[in-house]
């Protein structure tokens, strides 16, 4: 989570919401990182998770990311949860809950929906206070 927090802080340089993500292999090797880049690229899909998944897929040479874990500072939204499922990520670890748009257990639970053909193991609340404070500070100053 510390590396994801570094990515989140980098998003502040471009005026983006400070959310960061990394993708690691089963052995814990960092495969990719990403941060929110919506403002930077004027791209509504450039969430930290999407950026990290795209980079990981390029690094692996395939869109199939079985055997990986996505670590992200904020609970994924519906769009990101869909991308996580499509990429076949095994595990998601997130920091702060997103009570307005979260799709990993708060508002929705897309990642563990039994109707879908892939389910993700989810670990929530890792360094939640630190991740949440970064967002609180950003929105207070905006």
Catalytic residue among 7, 29, 39, 49: 49
- Distances in Å between the alpha carbon of 142 and those of 29, 128, 136, 137, 138? 35, 21, 10, 9, 6
22: helix, strand or coil: strand
- Please give the angle made by the CA atoms of 31, 39 and 61, to the nearest 5 degrees: 25
Contact 29, 20 (CB under 8 A): no
Known active-site residue 7: no
Contact 125, 97 (CB under 8 A): yes
Query: Distance (Å, rounded) from C-alpha 37 to C-alpha 50?
Result: 10
Name the H helices within the chain: 2-11, 38-41, 48-60, 78-86, 128-141
Active site residues: 49
């Amino acid at each position: 989570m510390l590396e994801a927090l570094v990515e989140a802080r980098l998003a502040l340089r471009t005026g983006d919401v400070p959310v960061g993500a990394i993708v690691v292999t089963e052995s814990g090797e960092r495969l990719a990182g990403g941060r929110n880049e919506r403002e930077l690229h004027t791209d509504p899909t450039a969430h930290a998770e999407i950026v990290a998944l795209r980079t990981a897929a390029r690094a692996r040479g395939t869109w199939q990311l079985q055997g990986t874990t996505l670590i992200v500072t904020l609970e994924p939204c519906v769009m990101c949860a869909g991308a996580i499922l499509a990429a076949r990520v095994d595990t998601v670890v997130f920091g702060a809950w997103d009570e307005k748009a979260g799709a990993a257990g708060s508002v929705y639970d897309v990642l563990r929906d039994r109707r879908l053909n892939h389910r993700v193991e989810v670990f929530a609340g890792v360094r939640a206070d630190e991740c949440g404070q970064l967002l609180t500070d950003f929105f207070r100053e905006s």
